[in-house]
Amino acid sequence: MRRYLLSILLLLFTYQALAQRDDQAIIRSDTLNRKSNLKLIGIPVIFSTPETGLGYGGGGQLFLTSEKNVFKARKSNILFTGIYTTNSQVVIQALPQVYFGAGDYYLDGIYEFRIYPNKFWGIGNNTPESDEEAYNMTSHKFRVDFLKRLPPSLNFGLRFNFENHEVTEVAEGGLLGSGEIFGSDRAVIVGLGAIFTLDTRDQVEDPHEGFYVNFNAQFSSENFGATHGFNRFITDMRAYHPLGKNSLIAGRLYLENNYGDVPFQVKSQFGGGDMARGYFKGRFIDDQMYVLTAEYRWRFLPRFSLAAFGLMGEVSEINQDFFNKPHFSAGGGIRFKVLKDQNTLVRLDVGVGEQGNSGFYFGVNQAF
């Protein structure tokens, strides 16, 4: 039974892990000729969230292994995947990350195509469950960041972002069908942004100590061809403090502020396995959002650990309305280290929120 369970766990990767693109986060299943400057790794993908149900698919990661495309242990690569879910969602992604020279500059990008049935409850922090309505949307996303690295911990640079969201089906008589919601038929976002990151974590997949601070400012402008003009500011701060050899406390404060004519597709979304476990991602949406999370992690065996978390947060139209009615959730789960010499984790969490909101999250690596 133990060997059987380990064999299953070795195949479990989530869609949430795809953005990390780390050679150490992939289990090798196939490669090209080792004498070549290219190396290809096959990747099976299995995951489960309340938003998608069971998702499965596959893809690969192509590494550029010449010395000019390596920064320390990180190699230039392109990750590509195709995923289908039991909620009839289709997601196709390509995520290049290319280092230049000695790694002082690098390009980080994403292309994504989605056919994505989803749910909508309206806009605001107190939307009732009875307002739930289904809609279908097809999306194309293209984003490229060009960053300057200041070793060992600083990164800063510019971003170009393009998104095209076509709402293909809405509920009859629903809020989106009324046409009063920005983006209820179509939303095109085009604009530039600036990024600053300080990262002193000892590792990405399962940090034990250090800090992560990210500031992100971007805008969408009708002068560039967007259907809606707005500004967005994101602050993401995380800290990891060891409490001993086998335990630690982790904390995260996430702030998102949008100003202007913001379509519903890109408003702040409360919920989800990476942000507010215990709530459907997008259960509450609005222009402003904060989420404060604390998590205790304890490794009780070399490859097994437990976690318990609590969080609070809310959305609002303006920041002055924060802390009027925050939403809370709590929960925990178990983690399993897939390989002894790698940091990749398989994670199973349960989160319980208010008013019957809850969710199971099966994926890879820590939530933050």
Rounded-to-10 torsion of CA 305, 311, 315, 321: -160
What are the sequence ranges of the domains in the chain?
2-364
Whole-angstrom Cα distance, residue 257 to residue 321? 13
Preceding peptide of 96 cis, ω within 30°: no
With tokens 């070549």, the residue in question is 36
**DSSP strand E in the chain: where?**
38-49, 53-64, 70-71, 74-85, 90-100, 105-115, 118-120, 133-150, 154-170, 186-199, 210-220, 230-242, 247-260, 268-270, 284-286, 288-301, 304-316, 327-337, 345-352, 358-364
What pairs with residue 71 in β-bridges?
74
What pairs with residue 355 in β-bridges?
none
Question: Residues of the chain whose pLDDT is less than 50?
Answer: 1-34
Cβ burial of 180 (10 Å; 0-12, 13-18, 19+) is exposed
Q: Provide the CATH topology of domain 2-364.
A: Porin (2.40.160)
Reported as a single tens digit per residue, the pLDDT across 293-337 is: 999 999 999 999 999 999 999 999 998 889 999 999 999 999 999
